[in-house]
Chain A
Amino acid sequence: QEEEEQEADNFMFEFSDKPLLPSYNLQVSVSRGPCNWFLFSDVLKRLKLSSRIFQARFPHLEVATLPRAEFQRQVSLSQVLAQEEVPASPEPAPGAAETVELVHYEPELLQLLGSAVEYQAWSS
């Protein structure tokens, strides 16, 4: 717990030799402030895993669901997301899922994705 608090107070830098998967700052429930998420489908594609295998192998990595319209509303409010990073089509294609699946942005997942993680204290 103490270690977690220490890390929360530092800046985390993610480094990769591959272009980064987009991450989204989202509030997924009213009882919890905004935090960072990947689209689960992006992560599965990069790792070449099925959802079932991912969740069996990494049961501690948090997966959440958000209505698609709510996801798009929150993403469109971002000042720093380039518009081309915002997933397209406010009207989902017929038959498309009404929800988006998300996976929580955290150091262990970044390492699975091949990124290196470094911390830097604010005061340094």
Chain B
Amino acid sequence: HYFRYDEHVSLCLEKLSSSKDKSKAVLQQKYVRCSVRAQIRHLRRVLCHRLGLSLQHVQILFDNEPLPDHMTMKQLWLSRWFGKVCIHH
């Protein structure tokens, strides 16, 4: 696959806050860069690993809408263009 030579996308992840739950894991390093061929499921797995959470507790949203696991970063970028990606767990 040789993903290392791929073009990159940069993301900024914002935690979707709910006022009820203050005990949520904190995402310190919210700026993320990866291959345009990486999929939402890869990002979810990396975030789970970093946050010490199980997969069902991490969702990646855009405009409050969960993103499909098999969407690539390029598809995300081209279809939603400028904006923020949110994570919710």
Contact = CB atoms under 8 A, between A and B. Distances in A.
A11 B29 contact: no
B84 interface: no
Contacts of A33: 5
Main secondary structure of the interface of B (DSSP, over half): mixed
Interface residues of B, number: 33
B3 A122 contact: yes
A17 B77 contact: no
A48 to B, nearest CB: 20
A74 to B, nearest CB: 11
Q: How large is the interface on A (under 10, 10 to 19, 20 to 34, 35 or more residues)?
A: 20 to 34
Contacts of A23: 8, 33
Interface of A: 7-20, 22-23, 25, 33-36, 78-80, 82, 115-116, 118, 120, 122, 124
Q: Give me the 7 closest cross-chain CB pairs, A-B, nearest first.
A: A15-B29, A25-B7, A14-B33, A16-B31, A120-B42, A11-B38, A35-B5
